[in-house]
A and B are shown apart, each in its own frame.
Chain A
Amino acid sequence: MSNIKKDYIFYSIVIVFAMIFLTMTPQIKITNASFIIGPKTWPYTLLILLLVLGAYGIISSFFKSKKIQETEATEDNEDNEPERRLFKLSIPIVCLITVILYVLLLSVFGFILSSLIFLYGLSFLLGEKKQLNAIIFSIATTTVFVFLFPVLLSIPLPRGMGVFRHFSLLFY
């Protein structure tokens, strides 16, 4: 995608965002009317400024595109780079999916089990070639984290639900 196209998309999203929130602003219920400036003024100001900047962005992109016109050879380098892919997806996307899975697992399995799975899986996806190393890495890291945060610094970590909650209570 060319930079100009990206800019069009970006500024359009800004305008849509501002519009959605502008329609929501009148719904703010005023609970205390004794103030000269109520709670609506500030969001209105910000959203109108966002709208103006979004429109400015679209107009300036339009003029820029006219200036460049058909010389679209200046495509982004990053898009042309040959990328390493996994399951037909780019690495950042695979990583993102892994992170989302980890976060979802956290609420059910708690910190210890989900971190063991996540650390093993992600290090493998990111290029660790030896299975054993990935396993040792995940166990060692989880141990250090559990020792450092809940045990040493008394900082609580997610415990998970049901049986996993009881399991976590054995450690912290």
Chain B
Amino acid sequence: MFEYLITGLLNVLTDPMNIVMLLAAIFIGYIGGAIPGVSGTMLVVIMIPVTYTLEPEAAFILLTGIYAITSFSGAISAILLRTPGTPEAVVTTFDGYPMAQQGNAGRALGIAILCSVVGGVIGTLCLITITPALAKIALSFSSPEYFALAVMGLTVVASLSGKELAKGLIGVLFGLMIAVIGMDPLTGTLRFTFGTTALTSGINLIPVIIGLFALSEFLKKSRDSHVVQEAISNVQTKIFELEIFKKIYSTMARSSIIGVFIGILPGVGATTASMLSYSETVRWSKEKEKATYGKGNPKGIAASEASNNAAAMGTLVPLLSLGIPGGATAAVLLGAFILHGMQPGPMLFKTEPELMYTIFAALLLANIAMLIVSKPFIKIFQRVVNIPYYVLGPLIVVFCVIGTYTVRNNYTDILIMVLFGILGYTLEKYRFPLATIILGVVLGPLTESEFRRSVEMANGDFSVFFTRPISLTLLIISALMLFYPMINDYFKKRKLKNTDIAV
């Protein structure tokens, strides 16, 4: 493993193109993440077209690097503007903004940087050690296990849909239906192509992702385009202060570990991780201190930032080892892998070990680089943070169009993208979890073909999924994951009823 990791590090550091991409990832990740209205997911989506002509190594250094950096950079506007640049930085606003208001913006940013680096590095180290081990186990898998794995991936829907599980399931089924359109991979039969040749090869993943995530988000944000906020300016970032470090080191370590483990669980992303770490930190504090949370307690920033960066890395574990996207950005990354002709999962470790370890090395370097480049970058981006939407909005649309067109130089794809943009915008009004559709589209082909292959393998015996121990275990876990929120709800209600009766 170490040999590969060193090769990976050398790959990143000796190839000029890879260095350029790593630096570009850091730069773009900082600007994009710091601007409210551009989430990490959207940034990765709009950067996919740039990677088309790149070698896989350079392409994934750019995409995963951006992903790693945006986990931190959302904190910049969270602290200076009280508007989280990315959703996972929401919790950082709780204590970050009050601290900035008290004139300690530099200190708040410093804590965010230090904790993000520590969280990110711990997360990446876990990623490096756990992923290959998990992939090795998964190598012995055959079709029924892969089907069970895909089902497990689909059950991420439970956590993506919040209280609207029925809608989430509909989203997944709709996504799976989209994946059915085109030529059947096993028999070559055309399905739902409506007689057009444009649909023979199916609906491409990228227009769907760009439409649902980027264009619909643009339409939504255009509503409040006229609101411009004042940022706190003239900030001197202080990254390391012994006095503060003594206060936060235990919170930082605990939150990083919570973050990684929450991140590894499919479907529970960085935002949940930072919320949980925050509440844990408050719970572990002394009674006297509890009242200071939400008013500028450094531990609050530490909890949020350490855990969201660690979780962002943790989310990559199921993606790279098993091919299951743990969340929205991971689903987009999975799409990018497919676009470059690769299917993430155990086989990729066997066929492309160098690529995998180069990605790991780049993530490690990107996380460490935050420590060095944050200070000058924040100085520059204090001004960028407040880009008005009449500049940002049109740029996003042009990126959406270019990104879609360049997949296969197809004008129909642009129309499909706009269609999904409208669909996404409308569905959000119906409180619909959009990411579930992507989940269905991404995992659709795998789920169907492995299901059919398994049944073929067993000569038509459907019990094949339940007689093999690994597949059975995975299916049981899937069922638990799907129904856990319901069971949890039921017990909570019962508990509430019991206490009511007791009173």
Q: Which residues of A contact B (CB under 8 A)?
A: 3, 6-7, 9-10, 14, 17, 21, 24, 28-32, 35-39, 41-43, 46-47, 49-50, 53-54, 56-57, 60, 78, 83-84, 90-92, 95-96, 99-100, 102-103, 106-107, 115, 118-119, 122-128, 137, 141, 145, 149, 153-158
Interface contact A28-B173, CB-CB below 8 Å: no
Contact of A149 among B180, B402, B432 (CB under 8 A): B402
Question: Which residues on B sit within 8 Å (CB–CB) of A50?
Answer: 170, 173-174, 177
Residue ID in chain A nearest B191 by CB atoms: A28
Known: A99-B397, A103-B415, A126-B222. 13 other contacts (CB 8 A): A3-B431, A10-B430, A38-B189, A50-B174, A53-B169, A56-B166, A95-B218, A96-B219, A107-B411, A118-B397, A127-B390, A158-B405, A158-B411
Could you say which of B307-315, B418-426, B484-492 contacts chain A?
Answer: B418-426
Contact of B225 among A37, A91, A103, A115 (CB under 8 A): A91
Does B284 interact with chain A (Cβ within 8 Å)? Answer: no
Does B16 interact with chain A (Cβ within 8 Å)? Answer: no
Contact of B187 among A39, A128, A153 (CB under 8 A): A39
Interface contact A31-B187, CB-CB below 8 Å: yes
B276 to chain A, nearest CB (A): 28
B383-404 near A? 1/0 per residue, CB < 8 Å = 0000011110111011001100
A55 to B53, CA, bound (A): 47
Contact of A157 among B53, B187, B405 (CB under 8 A): B405
Does B469 interact with chain A (Cβ within 8 Å)? Answer: no
Interface contact A153-B219, CB-CB below 8 Å: no
Interface contact B166-A53, CB-CB below 8 Å: yes
A149 to B405, CA, bound (A): 12
A151 to B405, CA, bound (A): 16
List, sorted by A's number, 30 A–B pairs whose CB atoms are closer than 8 Å. Answer: A6-B429, A6-B430, A14-B170, A21-B177, A21-B192, A29-B189, A32-B187, A35-B456, A36-B452, A37-B456, A43-B191, A43-B192, A50-B170, A50-B173, A53-B166, A78-B429, A84-B223, A91-B223, A95-B222, A99-B421, A103-B401, A106-B401, A118-B394, A118-B398, A123-B391, A123-B394, A125-B390, A149-B406, A156-B409, A158-B411
A32 to B190, CA, bound (A): 12
Interface contact A122-B393, CB-CB below 8 Å: yes
A153 to B222, CA, bound (A): 30
Question: Which residues on A sit within 8 Å (CB–CB) of B180?
Answer: 42-43, 46
Interface contact B389-A7, CB-CB below 8 Å: no
Residue ID in chain B nearest A93 by CB atoms: B219
Question: Which residues on A sit within 8 Å (CB–CB) of B421?
Answer: 96, 99
Question: Which residues on B sit within 8 Å (CB–CB) of A122?
Answer: 390, 393-394, 397
Interface contact B187-A127, CB-CB below 8 Å: no
Q: Which of A39, A60, A123 has the most CB of B within 10 A?
A: A39
A47 to B50, CA, bound (A): 37
Q: Which residues of B contact A (CB under 8 A)?
A: 49-50, 52-53, 166-167, 169-170, 173-174, 176-177, 180, 184, 186-192, 215, 218-220, 222-223, 225-226, 388-391, 393-395, 397-398, 401-402, 405-406, 409, 411, 414-415, 418, 421-422, 425, 429-432, 448, 451-452, 455-456, 459-460
Interface contact A103-B430, CB-CB below 8 Å: no
A41 to B430, CA, bound (A): 30
A54 to B169, CA, bound (A): 10
Interface contact B394-A126, CB-CB below 8 Å: yes
A126 to B192, CA, bound (A): 39
B165 to chain A, nearest CB (A): 10
A11 to chain B, nearest CB (A): 8
A50 to B172, CA, bound (A): 10
A7 to B164, CA, bound (A): 11
Interface contact B177-A37, CB-CB below 8 Å: no
A83 to chain B, nearest CB (A): 7
Question: Which residues on B sit within 8 Å (CB–CB) of A155?
Answer: 49-50, 52-53, 402, 406
Question: Which residues on A sit within 8 Å (CB–CB) of B174?
Answer: 17, 50
Interface contact A28-B189, CB-CB below 8 Å: yes
- CB-CB under 8 A for A128 and B192, given A99-B397, A103-B415, A106-B401: no
Question: Which residues on B sit within 8 Å (CB–CB) of A31?
Answer: 187-189
A141 to B391, CA, bound (A): 10
Contact of B215 among A99, A141, A157 (CB under 8 A): A99
Interface contact B401-A102, CB-CB below 8 Å: yes
Question: Which residues on A sit within 8 Å (CB–CB) of B431?
Answer: 3, 6
A118 to chain B, nearest CB (A): 7
- CB-CB under 8 A for A103 and B190, given A56-B166, A96-B425: no
Interface contact A39-B409, CB-CB below 8 Å: no
Interface contact A127-B394, CB-CB below 8 Å: no
Interface contact B455-A36, CB-CB below 8 Å: yes
Interface contact A30-B49, CB-CB below 8 Å: no
A29 to B406, CA, bound (A): 32
A125 to chain B, nearest CB (A): 8
Interface contact B187-A30, CB-CB below 8 Å: yes
B349 to chain A, nearest CB (A): 29
A41 to B421, CA, bound (A): 30
A100 to B393, CA, bound (A): 15
